[in-house]
Amino acid sequence: MGKGAQGSDAAVAAAAAAGAGEVEENMAAWLVAKNTLKIMPFQLPPLGPHDVRVRMKAVGICGSDVHYLREMRIAHFVVKEPMVIGHECAGVIEEVGAGVTHLTVGDRVALEPGVSCWRCRHCKGGRYNLCPDMKFFATPPFHGSLANQVVHPGDLCFKLPDGVSLEEGAMCEPLSVGVHACRRAGVGPETGVLVVGAGPIGLVTLLAARAFGAPKVVIVDVDDHRLSVATSLGADATVKVSTRAEDLESEVERIQAAMGSEIDVSLDCAGFSKTMSTALEATRPGGKVCLVGMGHNEMTLPMTSAAAREVDVVGVFRYKDTWPLCIDFLRTGKVDVKPLITHRFGFSQRDVEEAFEVSARGRDAIKVMFNL
């Protein structure tokens, strides 16, 4: 009996050792064709000395993810082969490279999704978001982060303080767009701000403008529900507008009346001819318009009128050096992104399909979040 027991113990020990040696298969949501996502294995690259391996815990759906799903392209970025989707993310460190000293296993981190070259003139000049060799999560041909685990440079992983959730950490990505826009536009305590478009980016831009000290923010949109959300988030006034160009003049008058003073900065978070025309016409002489959204590749705009009033126009492409400030805004309570997370899903095939359907449908969906 004793021998049999010893034999049984040995077998159990051997099985346990074999199990301990098994490597978990990393699964990810792959965009394989128009309107087709499949959860399939995703082999991670080797961990470099300055990399970390992160277990994803929260991943949000961005409008660009939905656009890739529908069209398999955005502008000149074309999905030519299956690609892992997702780029708004946060997770927990599971392994660190030998050269990573500021992070340890178990740290909760928010990930900045773009890896620049650090050699070109833009990177050296501090505007690394313009790097022509940027490797950005879920921008073809580079894979994204809607996966069990990803490998990412340690210096693009930012530790979350106690009191800031992983979902909030994932929201640093869209919030970064608003923060970068406010920096580009020079928003501050003496700036009357107009936000055109109350979608997810318009709403985070509203929150960012408030955090930058804007004393009054007016937001406009075509949708009553989005405007009610903007009011709940702290907009001083909202104006419902139409998509008709012939309504522009009367709408500008209503917008300026709602502000009650001159509009110093307008941030177009939609990027259509009508929305950009609204921003240009509503802004005071000598003011600034910032184009944040990219709805149309080409627009017809009243540029002569804007030039005669010396209205400056600046563009926004992604962001740079925003994660530390975003995290500080979240830590101090200057920004609360939690109300923007309207829907949550797990990470099954059904969950992924339903989550993207909800996000694409819009309506009451603002930010759809995966909890992995």
Range 357-365, long-range pairs (CB < 8 A, 24+ positions): 359/61, 359/65, 359/66, 360/66, 360/69, 360/70, 363/225, 364/225
Evaluated on CA atoms 263, 268, 273, 274, the torsion sign reads: negative
In this structure, what DSSP letter does residue 118 have?
A: S
Tell which residue, 135, 110, 127, has the closest CA to residue 319: 127
In this structure, what DSSP letter does residue 77 have?
A: E
* Residue in the block written with tokens 């960012």: 208
Adjacent-strand bridge partners of 196: 220, 268
Phi, psi torsion values for 36, nearest 5 degrees: -135, 115
Which amino acid, 317? F
End-to-end CA distance of the chain: 47
Asked if residues 329 and 314 have their Cβ atoms less than 8 Å apart, the reply is no
Mention every residue, 6+ apart, whose C-beta is less than 8 A from residue 53: 44, 47, 93, 94, 95, 96, 149, 150, 151
Strands in 36-41's sheet, in edge-to-edge order, are 36-41, 27-33, 83-84
**Which pTM was predicted?**
0.91
Quote the pLDDT of residue 22.
Answer: 52
Quote the pLDDT of residue 297.
Answer: 82
Strands in 312-315's sheet, in edge-to-edge order, are 237-240, 216-221, 192-196, 265-268, 288-291, 312-315
Secondary structure E strands in the chain = 27-33, 36-41, 51-60, 73-74, 77-78, 83-84, 88-96, 108-111, 114-115, 135-136, 149-153, 157-159, 192-196, 216-221, 237-240, 265-268, 288-291, 312-315, 341-345, 367-371
Quote the pLDDT of residue 23.
Answer: 63
Asked if residues 195 and 269 have their Cβ atoms less than 8 Å apart, the reply is yes
Domain residue ranges of the chain, discontinuous segments joined by +: 27-159+337-371, 177-315
Structure tokens at 131: 């790097």
**Pairing label, strands 51-60, 149-153:** antiparallel
In this structure, what DSSP letter does residue 120 have?
A: S
Fold of 177-315: Rossmann fold (3.40.50)
Quote the pLDDT of residue 17.
Answer: 37
Tallying the residues shown for the chain, one arrives at 372
Which amino acid, 272? F
Quote the pLDDT of residue 14.
Answer: 37
CATH number for 27-159+337-371 (one of 3.40.50.150, 3.90.180.10, 3.40.718.10, 3.50.50.60): it is: 3.90.180.10
**Pairing label, strands 135-136, 114-115:** antiparallel
Asked if residues 180 and 316 have their Cβ atoms less than 8 Å apart, the reply is yes
The dihedral over CA atoms of 185, 214, 207, 307, expressed in degrees to the nearest 10, equals -30
pLDDT in tens, the chain (372 residues): 333 333 333 333 333 333 444 568 999 999 999 999 999 999 999 999 999 999 999 999 999 999 999 999 998 899 999 999 999 999 999 999 999 999 999 999 999 999 999 999 999 999 999 999 999 999 999 999 999 999 999 999 999 999 999 999 999 999 999 999 999 999 999 999 999 999 999 999 999 999 999 999 999 999 999 999 999 999 999 999 999 999 999 999 999 999 999 999 999 999 999 999 999 999 999 999 999 998 888 899 999 999 999 999 999 999 999 999 999 999 999 999 999 999 999 999 999 999 999 999 988 999 999 999
Quote the pLDDT of residue 34.
Answer: 96
What is the rounded distance in angstroms from the CA atom of residue 261 to the CA atom of residue 250? 17
What is the rounded distance in angstroms from the CA atom of residue 319 to the CA atom of residue 70? 25
Q: At what angle do helices 224-232 and 200-211 cross, to 10 degrees?
A: 20
The dihedral over CA atoms of 87, 160, 332, 346, expressed in degrees to the nearest 10, equals 50
What is the rounded distance in angstroms from the CA atom of residue 160 to the CA atom of residue 149? 18
